């Protein structure tokens, strides 16, 4: 099925109201945009198509969940699904995120429509010799919270304890309880270990940080993922708040219209998904209007290599994040 953003002015006011915010400029601009299909990418190990834009469930989702006001989260999830997105990235370690997302999805009856990416926690020394049992319990908790079996993707969080945890999730895959397995890491300091695991192990996915001002993953990891047939989830496409602070008060350049980007979110997202190794990016947001903006980043033309260099240069010339 082909999805595109086709919001009426009434929809936009509804989303803005649900989020408790004034209608944003990006959404106003989107109103005037010609709709285009949401790009999909294939998971190399299966050939399954995934919409290239998903939703992150860490800080923003966890803190809203704790605030007790769940309406924005409900709206964020339905906005994603109503406009063709499916991938929701969470983790046992993200506080209330997995619990609340699972509960909301089940209340809305959409748990089966979402492509759930969750993670096994990193090992903690204080867990002691019973640590495999802790991991087993944690995985069972994820099944109970999410309410979907098989879980689509189970990853080892931040390299965890690969020796112990990878065989456990491989077994789950063999039993049909998990569809895909992977490993994540989100800063360049341990890229060598991730590279080693990509070479030594059979993985369906990796999850990695990558952004227009954080391109270390493009040196070895992204080309290796292409060579090895490993799908890639991109985390922190905005560097959390780093890129927002760098472009604060600045207009998106006119030339970004050459690749259909009219907002900074679309600019940052299009930079990332234009890399051929990228399968899906999961920007986090607490606002339905921003989900729409981010999904629009997965539509229309993408920058080519010379244009991507131009984008890098523009951002490199901006002041560093405060
Ligand atoms: N090791 C790992 O496994 C790992 C590590 C890091 C991240 N992740 C995953 O990746 C996800 C994304 O990373 P992240 O949460 O670190 O940060 P991020 O997606 O780079 O940034 C999110 C920030 O951008 C804002 N934002 C989102 N869309 C926007 C838009 N269209 N316009 C303006 N502002 C916008 C959000 O605020 P608003 O709420 O105001 O929109 C939020 O402050 C996480 O939630 C998590 O699922 C995984």
Q: Which ligand 1 atom sits nearest the alpha carbon of residue 158?
A: 1
The values of phi and psi at residue 50, to 5°, are -125, 140
Cβ contacts of residue 34 below 8 Å, gap of 6+?
none
Q: Which ligand 1 atom sits nearest the alpha carbon of residue 119?
A: 3
Shortest-distance Cα residue to atom 17 of ligand 1 = 240
Q: Which ligand 1 atom sits nearest the alpha carbon of residue 235?
A: 10
132 CA → ligand 1 middle, Å: 30
Which residue among 22, 56, 57, 188 has the greatest number of ligand 1 atoms within 8 angstroms of its CB, and so is best to mutate? 56
What are the residue boundaries of the structural domains of the chain, listed by start?
A: 25-316
Which residue from 106, 55, 96 is spatially nearest to 77, judged by alpha carbons?
55
Shortest-distance Cα residue to atom 13 of ligand 1 = 236
pLDDT of residue 249: 95
285 CA → ligand 1 middle, Å: 6
pLDDT of residue 65: 75
Give the domain 25-316 fold: TIM Barrel (3.20.20)
Q: Which ligand 1 atom sits nearest the alpha carbon of residue 24?
A: 32
Pocket-forming residues, ligand 1, beta carbon under 6 Å: 56-60, 89, 119, 157-158, 184-186, 207, 235-241, 244, 265, 282-287, 290, 293-294
57 CA → ligand 1 middle, Å: 8
Dist CA 170 CA 298 (whole Å): 31
Determine how β-strand 49-51 pairs with β-strand 40-42: antiparallel
Global pTM? 0.91
Shortest-distance Cα residue to atom 48 of ligand 1 = 235
220 CA → ligand 1 middle, Å: 24
HSE-CB for 225 with a 13 A CA cutoff: 27
pLDDT of residue 67: 82
Task: Give strand pairing partners of 154.
Answer: 118, 181
Which residue among 283, 295, 321 has the greatest number of ligand 1 atoms within 8 angstroms of its CB, and so is best to mutate? 283
Rounded mean pLDDT for each run of 10 residues along the chain, 322 residues in total: 49 44 42 73 98 93 80 94 97 89 96 97 69 90 96 96 94 98 93 97 98 97 98 97 96 98 98 98 96 97 98 95 74
Dist CA 90 CA 61 (whole Å): 9
Q: Which ligand 1 atom sits nearest the alpha carbon of residue 236?
A: 20
**Hunting for tokens 């994603």 — which residue is that?**
80
Dist CA 75 CA 104 (whole Å): 10
Q: Are the C-beta atoms of 121 and 93 separated by less than 8 Å?
A: yes
Dist CA 24 CA 214 (whole Å): 27
pLDDT of residue 51: 98
pLDDT of residue 123: 67
Which residue from 231, 224, 196 is spatially nearest to 45, judged by alpha carbons?
231
Q: What are the structure tokens assigned to 80, written together?
A: 């994603």
Dist CA 115 CA 42 (whole Å): 14
Instruction: Compute how many other C-beta atoms are within 10 angstroms of the C-beta atom of residue 13.
Output: 14
pLDDT of residue 36: 87
Q: Is 66 helix (H, G, I), strand (E, B) or coil?
A: helix
235 CA → ligand 1 middle, Å: 8
Q: Which ligand 1 atom sits nearest the alpha carbon of residue 290?
A: 31
Q: Are the C-beta atoms of 143 and 149 separated by less than 8 Å?
A: yes
Please report the beta strands in the chain, taking only residues with DSSP state E, as ranges in sequence order: 40-42, 49-51, 55-56, 87-89, 115-120, 151-156, 178-185, 205-209, 231-235, 280-281
């Amino acid at each position: 099925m082909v999805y595109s953003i086709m919001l009426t002015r009434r929809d936009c006011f509804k989303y803005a109201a649900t989020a408790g915010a004034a209608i944003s400029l990006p959404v106003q601009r989107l109103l005037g945009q010609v709709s285009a299909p949401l790009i999909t990418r294939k998971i190399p190990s299966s050939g399954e198509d995934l919409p290239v834009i998903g939703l992150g469930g860490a800080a923003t989702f966890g803190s809203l969940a704790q605030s007790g006001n769940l309406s924005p989260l409900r709206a964020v999830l339905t906005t994603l699904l109503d406009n063709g997105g499916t991938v929701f990235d969470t983790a046992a370690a993200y506080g209330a995120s997995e619990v609340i997302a699972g509960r909301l999805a089940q209340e809305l009856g959409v748990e089966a429509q979402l492509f759930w990416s969750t993670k096994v926690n990193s090992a903690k020394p204080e867990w002691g010799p019973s640590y495999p049992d802790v991991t087993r319990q944690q995985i069972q908790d994820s099944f109970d919270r999410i309410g979907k079996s098989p879980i689509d993707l189970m990853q080892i969080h931040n390299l965890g304890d690969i020796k112990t945890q990878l065989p456990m999730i491989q077994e789950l895959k063999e039993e049909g309880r998990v569809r895909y397995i992977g490993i994540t890491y989100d800063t360049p300091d341990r890229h060598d270990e991730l590279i080693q695991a990509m070479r030594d192990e059979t993985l369906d996915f990796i999850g990695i940080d990558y952004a227009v001002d954080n391109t270390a993953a493009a040196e070895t990891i992204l080309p290796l993922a292409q060579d090895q047939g490993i799908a890639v989830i991109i985390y922190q496409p905005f560097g959390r708040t780093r890129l927002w602070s760098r472009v604060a008060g600045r207009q998106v350049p006119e030339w970004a219209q050459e690749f259909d980007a009219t907002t900074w979110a679309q600019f940052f997202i299009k930079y990332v998904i234009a890399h051929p190794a990228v399968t899906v990016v999961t920007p986090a947001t607490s606002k339905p209007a921003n989900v729409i903006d981010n999904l629009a980043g997965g539509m229309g033309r993408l920058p080519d290599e010379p244009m991507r260099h131009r984008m890098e240069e523009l951002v490199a010339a901006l002041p560093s994040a405060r």
